């Protein structure tokens, strides 16, 4: 394959999935972006079925519409982002329009957290030419399920979406805070954040589904709104003195997308101490790590007490992300190289 190719990109046309599609365009590829979810009714029950039972039950609805959409179109590559609705039968259809079909999944499709959400993905594993996964556990698990080729990559920030903004006085007035956590409620997070509050951490909480937390009556007073996107997300990170990085244990995370986005935006990351975080940043110089609420509260207090120290960590962390190459374009280049795009030989070359 040549350096510039035509790519059929299947995935949500929003969020980090859209960031990755745009990164492929910046790399010079021609990208046709289709969201299979838009081929189903826009009702919550569809999402509940996908989440609890799997997207394979909607294949009979999706496949005919996809066949019609792709009629007479040819691509060099099909890139599936996620794949909750992509079954073996849909992959067979995709192969009529692209000789190579690969998958990238930022979640834990072989883990316990998301129930039946990735049932279609698991059925389809043997039919992809390449699976790109973001946790080491998934590599062997995918091979045991018949994967042809698996590569492990780190998550990534986006060169554009997570570039620092020019901030105004109005931005600071609206977004300035001491310690910020931006993220969705998951089991265990509420108890941890409540303990931080009880230890005196001046916390600001933003994100969705926190009303489900048993600790909601206590957390409600520090919750400042739902999910943030775009410039709002970037400015909130930049205006916080300290940004917390919490992981999902059920999702077997050892780093998260926040692990790259916070330093990329110039924020100070104060995150859980894991082997992967320690491999990515120099502790105490490029990021701050902790192993429990008490250590986290002490780290926050130290950071809040020393403006110069915070700035040094923010600057060093920002430079480390660049050095490590944990950005969409770099990660995507490595995935495409594995299937022969930009290199002489690959899986689909």
Task: Express each pLDDT in 49-65 by its tens digit.
Answer: 999 999 999 999 999 99
Look up the CATH number of domain 6-156+327-337. Answer: 3.40.50.2000
pLDDT, tens digit (0-9, with 9 covering 90-100), for 210-224 = 999 999 999 999 999
**169-324 CATH, one of 3.20.20.70, 3.40.50.300, 3.40.50.2000, 3.10.580.10:** 3.40.50.2000
Assess contact for 210 and 190: CB atoms under 8 A.
Answer: yes
Query: Angle at the Cα of 4 (from 103 to 134), degrees rounded to 5?
Result: 25
Assess contact for 108 and 251: CB atoms under 8 A.
Answer: yes
Rounded Cα distance between 11 and 132, Å, is 15
Rounded Cα distance between 129 and 108, Å, is 19
Q: Judging by DSSP bridges, how do beta strands 177-182 and 203-206 pair with one another?
A: parallel
Q: pTM for the complete prediction? A: 0.92
Q: Which is nearest to 157 in space by CA: 19, 282, 276?
A: 19
pLDDT, tens digit (0-9, with 9 covering 90-100), for 125-170 = 999 999 999 999 999 999 999 999 999 999 999 999 999 999 999 9
Assess contact for 85 and 120: CB atoms under 8 A.
Answer: yes
169-324 matches 6-156+327-337 in CATH topology? yes
Residue 240: is its pLDDT beyond 60? yes
The predicted pLDDT at position 349 comes to 60
The predicted pLDDT at position 249 comes to 80
* Domain layout of the chain by residue ranges: 6-156+327-337, 169-324
Q: How confident is the model at residue 1 (pLDDT cuts 50, 70, 90)?
A: very low
Which tokens go with 40?
A: 């189903």
Q: How confident is the model at residue 341 (pLDDT cuts 50, 70, 90)?
A: confident
């Amino acid at each position: 394959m040549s350096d510039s190719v035509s790519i059929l990109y299947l995935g949500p046309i929003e969020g980090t999935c859209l960031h990755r599609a745009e990164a492929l365009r910046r790399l010079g590829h021609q990208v046709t972006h289709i969201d299979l979810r838009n081929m189903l009714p826009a009702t919550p029950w569809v999402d509940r079925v996908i989440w609890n039972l799997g997207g394979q039950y909607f294949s009979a609805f999706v496949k005919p519409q996809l066949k019609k959409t792709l009629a007479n179109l040819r691509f060099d590559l099909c890139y599936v982002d996620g794949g909750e609705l992509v079954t073996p039968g849909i992959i067979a259809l995709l192969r009529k329009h692209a000789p190579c079909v690969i998958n990238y999944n930022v979640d834990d499709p072989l883990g316990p957290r998301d129930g039946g959400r990735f049932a279609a993905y698991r059925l389809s594993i043997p039919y992809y030419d390449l699976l790109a996964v973001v946790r080491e556990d998934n590599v062997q698990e995918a091979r045991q399920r018949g994967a042809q080729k698996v590569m492990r990559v780190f998550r990534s920030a986006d060169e554009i979406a997570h570039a620092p903004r020019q901030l105004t006085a109005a931005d600071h007035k609206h977004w300035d805070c001491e310690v910020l956590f931006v993220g969705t409620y998951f089991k265990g997070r509420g108890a941890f954040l409540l303990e931080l509050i009880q230890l005196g951490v001046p916390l600001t909480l933003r994100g969705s589904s926190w009303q489900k937390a048993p600790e909601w009556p206590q957390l409600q007073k520090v919750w400042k709104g739902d999910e943030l996107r775009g410039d709002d997300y970037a400015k909130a990170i930049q205006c916080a003195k300290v940004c917390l990085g919490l992981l999902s244990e059920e999702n077997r995370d050892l780093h998260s997308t926040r692990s790259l986005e916070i330093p990329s935006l110039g924020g100070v990351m104060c995150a859980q101490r894991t082997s992967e975080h320690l491999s990515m940043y120099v502790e105490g110089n490029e990021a701050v790590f902790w192993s429990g609420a008490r250590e986290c509260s002490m780290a926050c207090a130290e950071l809040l007490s020393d403006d110069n120290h915070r700035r040094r960590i923010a600057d060093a962390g920002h430079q480390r992300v660049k050095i490590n190459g944990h950005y969409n374009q770099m990660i995507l280049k490595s995935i495409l190289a594995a299937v022969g795009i930009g290199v002489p030989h690959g899986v689909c070359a």
